[in-house]
Structure 1
């Protein structure tokens, strides 16, 4: 039989036009299913999945190809299918989530792995990696060409709720926006007005690197093979890698003015973002004067969760300037990653030291100079040091700080340095311009013993080592520069709320700015930089909130915040209480509820919800004038029921100066909503602060169904003294199955008026 090839070609051409090429193109997706939803008619979930795929098939395409069925790490399957078929599948009973298949490799930023984010189970697959959620970032702009902002693997256009535009201005053509960066705007009228002579460009392009770093930490796409000059090599990815980004540049050269910040937040709310991430500091001003406070209240009114950095003014208490009750305030902690240089002594002993020297310097069998009388490594001492040697420096001698030693080394002729130091701040910064390693005093004694015992001591150093795990330090630890509570603008609610990774986070950066140095005059650039601070911690929480929003689109901002807080972990990876970097135990004034655990937050059991009216009642209790109050809540609300007892997942009892010497009783009332699986019973355990009694009534909460709410009270009785200025405890609700543990910290604290 012969075929008319011209007619066949015409038929195929018609098919091409009748079937949308983009909708019929096939990709591989991983589908997460609710296995208990399987109809009883099917003998196995394999047959159930096959039946679903047949029902969504779009002729004349072949049936979707089932690749794998998963029934151990999680329930679901992988399949090759079109976008049209995927949309039909989403309407099937039992469907939970879907996300594109992608390569999984070791993590560079480390934090997704440190947070136990996995493509096989937990919040990533349940949320589709944050797909459909929009994070608005208020910062220094974005470098759109960075690979972290590629839209590879992101399916579909911007969410229908999106009302923003790509208006990037000079050097930022609208074509630079994509399915990842769906919006870009800039706000500079305020800073131009403050200094008319300044040359502020009209662009959303990042001029600092900070905004790109923050944006990619929250929602950067998968990028393989990145590192910081060989350290932390692997694949970079944000906490919510399929979330969309809307960028609002309101900082210029690392600074800005309140009017621009307020305009940026206002526009983000109008554009329809779901989460707002703000990694910037503010002056110590009242809540009714702070643009961050006012704008974030308006955002919460529109159902938008606002995340803010705590600030980098620690380790003293009362260094959080903006204790905004309706924003999530984030502290910074370390991760379980150590950048190292292996120091090998001539006798074969190997010592692991700290370094981020950005090159593979050749330091092999070099003579070691150790002189007990010349151990400060001052410029004068180094001028006398022999050339092409490794000198041993002790920064505690003469109080010589690390930066001074590095500057002196860069002007010397020595080959490398072994620096004995105990400064924890060294481990927050990537600046290491001269070949060397930092070791502890105990390790330094080993070096001294060897050098003094050997007639010709030598050593070698291997750079670019990355160590993961519990050694040499437990993680997380609270960064010493992370600001501590109580919040100065409002002490009645515990701030910070929780802690997230914020020390040496690898993420996108400005490719034309200095990221590292060698010696005095060699500046190095990179697309990915290691930065530290609460600015880096904040976008981790923004990303985690985006994942929760994608998994639970009906949850309020308060419910999302509650889930993050009550499931946060107060223990480190050795199962001991989280510590300061100096080794002392950290308090909730530093870590809030603890270190974020996104997978547990996905299914928290109970949440403390709060309406906008609840926040209004809180503002009305703050003894502001009518105008001050209306500045925050506007005229839409009245102060008919003022109350400082917000339904919040933490408790603060203040000791005022006038109350010292008295015995005080404070009662808190809380309401929790069951978001677990159906009926449940919870029992309470109370960890009372020192010199305090704490009683919860009732001690058991019984829920007959999902989304049912129950109330309880916490009454604490305590002596109003400030010998122990801050005492901590916790209320912990656990269900009868042992699956859920809902923890809320208690703080009894001396109020600021005790120190005036």
Structure 2
């Protein structure tokens, strides 16, 4: 019996045990595997299941007769499975990223399929949340976009909430058009997807809702690739929004915008939806797999998935494996506050955590020269005006509590007009509060935390400074004792935050086969466009960070034409190290300006991933390393420079373990490769992380993060 078949049989056996309620572990598998058991349900009741067949889909198949034979084989296998359960039509057929079906089954039928010949995985469809943080509570600081150029000829696929392309950020430009492919993904105009929106910039638009269910949609949801939420448009803006687009707030231009890869094309795959109750919003795994399957068939170069998930191998991860086999750079969000590891822990995905970005601060100046520092992104001249506590300005019929929080319609214009209003956080969104002040003719706002919380430099309807709880109490007390007091609100220069990983960004598991996350990128409020002509908002979370890295990958593929594995290697090995460990920060913060000069890259043949998963390969040539106790690892590095260079090797950052790298130096010509060996021979048994460093004669530094654990 082949190793692959043996693995699938073990997996099916584990799934069967789990379906009978047994506590079963599959310790021999290289990755933690989702042991999804068909749940008990009413007799005859059906649920939506994802069924994955053994072997790959058509993602890596070369064109020709062999591919057509494989296509017919996949179809025959799927038909045989449908016949086994007496089904006529599945909800979805998957044939590119993987070979599988989404279909409605009873619990008994699902249990039967778990042990059916040729079936690798059966799991019930789930609805997952986007990996962005709630705009009402996440920190928001104005972050710069990318350069004026980059990404020409590369297609970035975005599996998200859709896109509103009716903005200059997604119009066809001369550079985008010159880089357009002869063969591009399909983009079909629809009634809700306006004429002219399919351009050289927006080259695909598809939507997938059968898994989520049309009957579960909110009334504002649109059955088209158009974005109802804003998340997908913001993610696309960050990754590939056009360059030199003015950012205007209240009639003032505060800068010019560019995505990280402004000349890249975008392909839209809407698989995330809104429900009547926002708590039910999300993305069905059935729709996500369908979107990934279509994106791979369309031939995207980079695939962005800003959707959270479990730290286990499931159908979504297997679909992303198919994308990697098609030489797609797969970028996914690590998620926030995950327990037991990041989302997307598989080695074929570039998993991105969230770090700090740039900071815009402001101050409130009181009489007597007292200055209170907070967050502010308001452009223009300082605001000088009398101050009023919102609680003292309640409109007729509004409660004092509603006024204190500046809820819509709660403020009395006769009191608020021409004043700076002190509003407490909570109840409604931060920007909603400043809109309430603006509608009551106020000229400014100070937003005050009532407890521990972040400070956020939002784009408000009136100039606003956001203060912490202690300074907020001081200001409230001062205003109460100075009823005719005047304050000055003013912005301070933009600075870069101390680079660090944000506390809510998911961390990796020391038990994982390869350390995660791979890298971090700005995730504390990155500027992007929002739909419906509403201008600009900030996106926080690992969604924003993943979009940043997707844009970086698009720039690099356009500039160097490297494989997906080499592109990923360059982003990891040139990252800026952070004080946090490998399981918090991965290799560190992605550096957009450094990725095209890594000196050395580590390549992975796309077929190696499945061989490793099936147990036919012991390890992968990834840039991230892990040694358990004592052991030896090897990696193959390739010179991607234009000249022959010497590269020295060393291990750095280890105090409690003996780590050595051989050979001490290698000389490589352009395109030549060499193998290095990393040995951990002694340690105190505690976890420690550092790096393997390869210094090139031209000043390059190729840094491989290394985790030594028990």
Counterpart-to-counterpart distance in 2, 1:156 and 1:324: 35
TM-score under structure 2 length normalisation:
0.67
Counterpart-to-counterpart distance in 1, 2:218 and 2:143: 43
Change (3 A) 1:112 1:609: same
Residue number among 707, 716, 735 corresponding to 2:671 in the alignment: 707
Deviation at 1:181, TM superposition (A): 0.7
Counterpart-to-counterpart distance in 1, 2:530 and 2:361: 19
Change (3 A) 1:294 1:228: farther
- Contact 1:332 / 1:534 at 8 angstroms: preserved in 2? yes
Deviation at 1:417, TM superposition (A): 4.8
- 1:255-288 per-position Cα deviation (integer Å, ceiling 9, x unaligned): 2211211111111111121111111122x2741x
- Is 1:745 equivalent to 2:705 in the alignment? yes
- Contact 2:142 / 2:359 at 8 angstroms: preserved in 1? no
Q: Secondary structure at the match of 1:238?
A: coil
Change (3 A) 1:441 1:507: closer
| 2:329 aligned partner | 305
Counterpart-to-counterpart distance in 2, 1:408 and 1:174: 36
- Is 1:598 equivalent to 2:598 in the alignment? no
| 1:279 aligned partner | 306
Change (3 A) 1:361 1:170: farther
- Is 1:468 equivalent to 2:494 in the alignment? yes
Counterpart-to-counterpart distance in 2, 1:620 and 1:609: 20
Q: Secondary structure at the match of 1:540?
A: helix
- 1:617-675 per-position Cα deviation (integer Å, ceiling 9, x unaligned): 32123xxxxxxxxxxxxxxxxx3xx20x3211121234xxxxxxxxx312111110011
Taking the TM superposition and a 5 Å limit, the aligned residue runs for 1:538-687 are 538-553=546-561, 555-570=562-577, 578=578, 585-621=579-615, 639=616, 642-643=617-618, 645-654=619-628, 664-687=629-652
- Contact 2:336 / 2:505 at 8 angstroms: preserved in 1? yes
| 1:530 aligned partner | 538
Change (3 A) 1:208 1:223: farther
- Contact 1:168 / 1:185 at 8 angstroms: preserved in 2? no
Change (3 A) 1:137 1:166: same
| 2:524 aligned partner | 503
Change (3 A) 1:557 1:460: same
| 1:148 aligned partner | 169
Change (3 A) 1:391 1:256: closer
Counterpart-to-counterpart distance in 1, 2:381 and 2:183: 47
Taking the TM superposition and a 5 Å limit, the aligned residue runs for 1:418-433 are 419=448, 423=452, 425-427=454-456, 430=458
- Contact 1:365 / 1:460 at 8 angstroms: preserved in 2? yes
- Contact 1:668 / 1:714 at 8 angstroms: preserved in 2? yes
Residue number among 150, 154, 157 corresponding to 1:136 in the alignment: 157
Residue number among 290, 293, 313 corresponding to 2:315 in the alignment: 290
Counterpart-to-counterpart distance in 2, 1:270 and 1:445: 57
Taking the TM superposition and a 5 Å limit, the aligned residue runs for 1:280-429 are 280-282=307-309, 284=310, 286-287=312-313, 289-291=314-316, 293-313=317-337, 318-340=340-362, 342-355=363-376, 364-366=385-387, 379=401, 417=446, 419=448, 423=452, 425-427=454-456
Counterpart-to-counterpart distance in 1, 2:536 and 2:214: 34
Change (3 A) 1:362 1:682: closer
Counterpart-to-counterpart distance in 2, 1:228 and 1:339: 17
Counterpart-to-counterpart distance in 1, 2:587 and 2:252: 31
- Is 1:270 equivalent to 2:297 in the alignment? yes
- Contact 1:231 / 1:466 at 8 angstroms: preserved in 2? no
Deviation at 1:357, TM superposition (A): 8.1
| 1:58 aligned partner | none
Taking the TM superposition and a 5 Å limit, the aligned residue runs for 1:25-64 are none
Change (3 A) 1:173 1:432: closer
Counterpart-to-counterpart distance in 2, 1:193 and 1:445: 48
Residue number among 693, 702, 706 corresponding to 1:732 in the alignment: 693
- Contact 2:600 / 2:637 at 8 angstroms: preserved in 1? yes
Change (3 A) 1:172 1:348: same
Counterpart-to-counterpart distance in 2, 1:747 and 1:422: 38
Deviation at 1:442, TM superposition (A): 8.0
Counterpart-to-counterpart distance in 2, 1:151 and 1:380: 46
Taking the TM superposition and a 5 Å limit, the aligned residue runs for 1:488-499 are 491-499=512-520
Deviation at 1:560, TM superposition (A): 0.4
- 1:402-459 per-position Cα deviation (integer Å, ceiling 9, x unaligned): 66998999999999657367845343x849799863345786798699889x988834
Deviation at 1:613, TM superposition (A): 3.3
- 1:526-578 per-position Cα deviation (integer Å, ceiling 9, x unaligned): 2221121111111111111111111112x2111000001100112xxxxxxx4
Counterpart-to-counterpart distance in 2, 1:665 and 1:232: 58
Counterpart-to-counterpart distance in 1, 2:229 and 2:449: 33
Which blocks of at least 5 consecutive residues in structure 2 are unaligned? 1-140, 275-280, 392-399, 406-411
Query: Across the two proteins, how many residue pairs are aligned to each other?
Result: 544
Taking the TM superposition and a 5 Å limit, the aligned residue runs for 1:101-250 are 110-112=143-145, 117=147, 124=149, 129-154=150-175, 156=177, 159-160=180-181, 162-192=183-213, 201-227=222-248, 229=250, 233-250=254-271
- Contact 1:339 / 1:466 at 8 angstroms: preserved in 2? yes
- 1:449-491 per-position Cα deviation (integer Å, ceiling 9, x unaligned): 9889x9888341326x363124xxx34332222211128xx71
Deviation at 1:295, TM superposition (A): 1.5
TM-score under structure 1 length normalisation:
0.64
- Is 1:485 equivalent to 2:508 in the alignment? yes
- Contact 2:459 / 2:537 at 8 angstroms: preserved in 1? no
- Contact 1:421 / 1:438 at 8 angstroms: preserved in 2? no
- 1:725-745 per-position Cα deviation (integer Å, ceiling 9, x unaligned): x422111111234x1011111
- 1:567-606 per-position Cα deviation (integer Å, ceiling 9, x unaligned): 0112xxxxxxx4xxxxxx4222222111111221111100
Change (3 A) 1:381 1:222: closer
Deviation at 1:748, TM superposition (A): 2.7
Counterpart-to-counterpart distance in 1, 2:498 and 2:380: 27
- 1:167-187 per-position Cα deviation (integer Å, ceiling 9, x unaligned): 243311452211111221112
Q: Secondary structure at the match of 2:174?
A: coil
Counterpart-to-counterpart distance in 2, 1:327 and 1:274: 14
Change (3 A) 1:258 1:369: closer
Deviation at 1:318, TM superposition (A): 3.1
Change (3 A) 1:222 1:380: closer
Which blocks of at least 5 consecutive residues in structure 1 are unaligned? 1-107, 371-377, 396-400, 513-525, 571-577, 579-584, 622-638, 655-663, 751-756
Q: CA RMSD in A?
A: 4.1
Counterpart-to-counterpart distance in 1, 2:239 and 2:341: 25
Change (3 A) 1:432 1:182: closer
Change (3 A) 1:457 1:318: farther
Counterpart-to-counterpart distance in 2, 1:511 and 1:359: 25
Higher relative contact order (CA 8 A, sep 6+): 2
Counterpart-to-counterpart distance in 1, 2:213 and 2:450: 45
